[in-house]
Amino acid sequence: MAFAGAKIIQPSLPLIHTTTRSPDNTLLSDPSFLSSPFLGSTRTLRLTQSISPAQRRSASPVVAVSDVFKEKKLKSNTNLLLTKEEGLQVYEDMILGRAFEDMCAQMYYRGKMFGFVHLYNGQEAVSSGFIKLLKKEDSVVSTYRDHVHALSKGVPARAVMSELFGKKTGCCRGQGGSMHMFSAEHNVLGGFAFIGEGIPVATGAAFASKYRREVLKEADCDHVTLAFFGDGTCNNGQFFECLNMAALWKLPIIFVVENNLWAIGMSHLRSTSDPEIWKKGPAFGMPGVHVDGMDVLKVREVAKEAIGRARRGEGPTLVECETYRFRGHSLADPDELRDPAEKARYAARDPITALKKYLIESKLANEAELKAIEKKIDEVVEDAVEFADESPAPSRSQLLENVFADPRGFGIGPDGSYRCEDPKFTQGTAQV
């Protein structure tokens, strides 16, 4: 088992962390780090120095590494981590995520969108880094901050925007809303408002994949599941229950922690006894990895390894992506508790700017191509808004639909037949 070869480096970590970071205090200058690169090593990404590798609060990285992977990384020493097409694809996906979320904010303040809306600005590297490596049959389970996960997985921007406007043409016909994005076609299994709720569901999807392969004998079923959730969720019981069962049964799942350091107004450091979430993986028998979530290339490297592990049947991985949300928790959050200096620091590490810089400097793309992509995405988002605006609201008859797959669950009507067979069933007031 790959885990058996793991090395766990324990630094002396103060419990109260300062968030100051100086360029000198980089990981690269720390010898202990260089001797043991972690998955998604920053060593090969020395070029992207603007995303200063010293992501951690502490100096040295504390990770569990598999020896196998370490060797692989040492061999591949190419500068380029992705091809031009991949680079442009990832760039486009991140621009789409950013533009879409910005448009959501605008629409919300204009009253077109309502309720709870949680935006993903700043965290695009995690979504694009992971989801762009998946197949269509792989599943993604997310939290309420799910617009960009749905978009990355392939749900059309029009469908997501309509859903947010509450229109009939939305991906869930307006019945789900911002926090409940489902798409059976693209295997987006939600969209859950309760934090931690998506983790067991994702574990179940991974269980189904394993069941299909081993019990139903579908030999080519190697679908993996990604579960996205935040730092606050990592203190929830369901998280630990699922780490245990996923490792116990070696399920093809990757637990992706989007550690943006804040759960609404509760700082991760104030609420967690040991803030290093990746450490919780080895405690349950799976590798735990920490990666810079503001750097899409690093995330991609880690994701490749983790997804590969899961596909080969080697079991789950816990990946902690240190990232940041540029906006508040939701559009209703005044966001007063976060230090503006901290926000500025992370804004300087904007993943999109970083990727753009990398693409240009490694000659994978030029300004014009990237500008063209940005323009194209602007048009896509505008078109999505227009489409959503013009779409009709759900009709009254839709109210009672879709409660059951077999709607005889509405019971017997006064005439003795099933209520749902009455042609007037969904008209008028709901008299069930």
Q: Which two tokens stand for residue 102?
A: 């910005």
What CA–CA distances, in Å, run from 2 to 17, 252, 313, 314?
31, 14, 11, 8
Q: Which residues contact 33 (CB under 8 A, 6 or more apart)?
A: 27, 59, 60, 61
* Residue in 122, 166, 204, 275 binding other proteins, rule: CB under 8 A: 204
Q: At what angle do helices 198-214 and 237-249 cross, to 10 degrees?
A: 10
Q: Which of 8, 20, 74, 194 binds other proteins (CB under 8 A)?
A: 194
Binding string, residues 89-128; x marks residues near other proteins by CB under 8 A = ----------------------------------------
CB-wise, 181 or 373, nearer to other proteins?
181
205 binds other proteins (CB under 8 A): yes
Angle between helices 84-109 and 351-361 (to 10 degrees): 150
Shorter beta-carbon distance to other proteins: residue 215 or 344: 215
Our finding on whether 183 is near other proteins (CB under 8 A) is yes
The number of residues that bind other proteins (CB under 8 A) is 61
- What secondary structure does DSSP assign to 42-79, as a single string? SGGGTT-TTS-S--SSSSS---EE-HHHHHHHHH---S
CA distance 359 to 367: 9
Asked if residue 203 binds other proteins (CB under 8 A), the reply is: yes
Rule CB under 8 A: is residue 206 a binding residue for other proteins? Answer: yes
Contact positions with other proteins (CB under 8 A) in 373-402: 401-402
Residues of span 162-181 touching other proteins by CB under 8 A: 171-177, 180
Alpha-carbon distance of 254 to 251, in angstroms, equals 9
Cβ-based nearer residue to other proteins, 150 or 302: 150
Q: Is 151 in the site for other proteins (CB under 8 A)?
A: no
316 lies in the site for other proteins, by CB under 8 A: no
Instruction: Tell me how far apart the alpha carbons of residues 88 and 109 are, in angstroms, rounded to a whole number.
Output: 32
Interface positions with other proteins (CB under 8 A) = 139, 141, 171-177, 180, 182-185, 189-194, 197, 199-209, 211-212, 214-216, 225, 237-238, 241-242, 244-245, 248, 401-406, 408-414, 416-418
